[in-house]
Amino acid sequence: MSTESPLRRMVGGFAVLSAATLLAQVLGFILLTVAARRLGPGPIGSFSFAVSLVGYFAIPANFGVTALAIRDISRDPASVRQVMGEVIVLHAGLVALPYVLVVLAAPLLGADELSSRLIPVVALGFILEAAALAWVLVGRQRFGILAVGRVAGALVNFVLVLLLIEPGAGDTGAFEFAWAGVAGLAVAGVVTLVPVLRREGRPALVLDRRRLAGRFKTGVPLGIAAVMVSIYYSLDSVMLGYLRTTEDVGQYAVAYRLPLALIGFAGLWGSVLFPHASALAARDPEALRGQLGFFTSVAAVVALPIGVGAVLVGGELMPQLFGAEFAPAGTPFVILAWAAAIVVFTISTGFVALALGEERHYLIAVTAGAVGNFLANLVLIPTAGMTGAASATVGAEVIVFALIWRRLHARLGPVPLEWWRILRAAVATFAMVPVLIALDGTLSAAVRVAIGALVFAVAAVALGAVHRGEIRAALRVGGG
């Protein structure tokens, strides 16, 4: 097999999943605009609070177990049935108990009556995701099936929301919104589960306590890291619900929608990179170091215009998209867009660290970010509300990146960033600025975003920040 095959498969998988995710994100964004206009900030806030809170109970289902399993089957594909059997048995306990607990605790944990009632419905999602066995497809790098499942689930959710939710539906509409999401996850799960069982065969269920305990124990650092990541991505919404109101949560959910979509794409890249990097780390760490420098430098080309563009159009974009009631979401959106830009730039570093087996140092980094985020939210939310919560998120991202980057420098040596590329991307970004300023007040914010993106793309290609020939050359040599 040629050295180009793994990298080609990774890039091809990312392209397929990106296309599917883009469609799913577009559908999800349309649904949020429809629901926001039909329900208003209150019900949307209660739903968003329930989603954020349930995320903590969903963590045990993936307490490092699936990430470790992906790495195992990437390095030893023949072990897939055994690994599947161990993970399924572990999930049986790690999913059922948290669901029972969240249902029982819902009346006490809800920020208001509606969020308390929504929690048991929303929590069904993590049961369906655990049953889908999508992680097997990631480890086997069969991304086409994942893409089909993602699109199918998004389409079902989209159709149900449009059919069910009526203007002014209030609490009933919030429940319909939640059940539509559950139905979408169920369809996506079936689409992925059936091919996994057909291709890999029946899982070899493992009831050996020692082996199960060993797998769980090995995944503990990754599991705790997942807790910390969940904290600094969702703690702000939960604390806004407790320290302010669910209407603030609704405004913040709207502000976070586009940045979360960008973070989702970054996470998608990470999920594709992880099995590739896990295999490469075992045989050629030097090539991995070169690829990390290349991927991170290219990510900077994407990240810079996101942050700068948000500053110029973000304040107008929220009320134009979601309605005048959501004008207060403008400032937190701008700040959260910078958080998303940081994630886009840094995402490869975290997944490479995990591929290298640096679970403990990764845990230290995300714990520091989570603690910093919590303390900052405790101070900033009472005084600055949504703006304070968004600022705390940016600070957490910077902390995590700095600690992981330092560890990778010690483990791999200096990562060769392509500063010439980053400088040209900066020039292309600032070529976009006068165009956006000149169009202020003449066109809608959404149209200005599209024009600004086009200007940046043309300038970036003209300056040589990125071009197709270079990408083809990278694929031919296998990266680095």
Residue 461 CB neighbour total at 10 angstroms:
13
Residues 6+ apart with CB under 8 A from 5: none
CB of 383 within 8 A of CB of 356? no
Residues 6+ apart with CB under 8 A from 391: 335, 376, 380, 384
b/e burial code for range 287-323 (CB count within 10 A of at least 16 → b): bbbbbbbbbbbbbbbbbbbbbbbbebbbbbbbbbbbb
Cα end-to-end span (Å), the chain: 18
Q: Which pLDDT value is given to residue 468? A: 63
442 φ, ψ (degrees, to nearest 5)? -105, -30
CA–CA separation, 363 vs 344, rounded Å? 20
**Of 288, 305, 384, the residue nearest 344 (C-alpha):** 305
Paired tokens of 263: 């973070």
**Cα torsion 461, 462, 465, 470: sign:** positive
Residue 423 CB neighbour total at 10 angstroms:
13
Q: pLDDT per position in the chain (480 positions), as tens?
A: 344 455 666 666 667 877 888 888 888 888 888 888 888 888 888 888 888 888 878 777 666 778 788 878 877 888 888 888 888 888 888 888 888 998 999 998 888 889 899 999 999 988 898 888 888 888 887 888 888 998 999 999 999 988 888 887 778 888 898 999 999 999 999 999 999 888 888 887 777 778 878 777 777 777 777 777 777 777 888 889 888 888 888 889 889 988 988 888 888 788 778 878 887 887 788 888 998 999 999 999 999 999 999 999 988 888 888 888 888 999 999 999 999 999 999 999 998 998 888 888 888 898 899 889 999 999 999 999 999 999 999 999 999 999 999 999 999 899 999 999 999 999 999 999 999 999 888 888 889 999 999 999 999 988 988 776 655 554 443 333
Q: Which pLDDT value is given to residue 11? A: 65
Residues 6+ apart with CB under 8 A from 416: 289, 290, 293
CA–CA separation, 129 vs 351, rounded Å? 21
Length of the chain (residues): 480
410 to each of 353, 392, 407, how far by Cα in Å? 11, 28, 5
**Greatest Cα-to-Cα distance within the chain, rounded to the nearest angstrom:** 68
Residues 6+ apart with CB under 8 A from 7: 276, 291, 474, 475, 478, 479
**Of 122, 127, 129, the residue nearest 54 (C-alpha):** 122
63 φ, ψ (degrees, to nearest 5)? -70, 60
Angle at 366 between CA 277 and CA 414, to 5 degrees: 50
CB of 112 within 8 A of CB of 246? yes
Q: What is the dihedral of CA 228, 232, 235, 239, to 10 degrees?
A: 130
CB of 144 within 8 A of CB of 16? yes
Angle at 191 between CA 186 and CA 197, to 5 degrees: 110
Residue 450 CB neighbour total at 10 angstroms:
12
CA–CA separation, 475 vs 125, rounded Å? 38
Residue 348 CB neighbour total at 10 angstroms:
26
Paired tokens of 249: 């949560």
32 to each of 22, 300, 339, 420, 438, how far by Cα in Å? 15, 29, 21, 40, 30
Q: Which pLDDT value is given to residue 160? A: 92
CA–CA separation, 450 vs 456, rounded Å? 10
What residue segments make up the domains of the chain, in order of their start?
A: 4-477
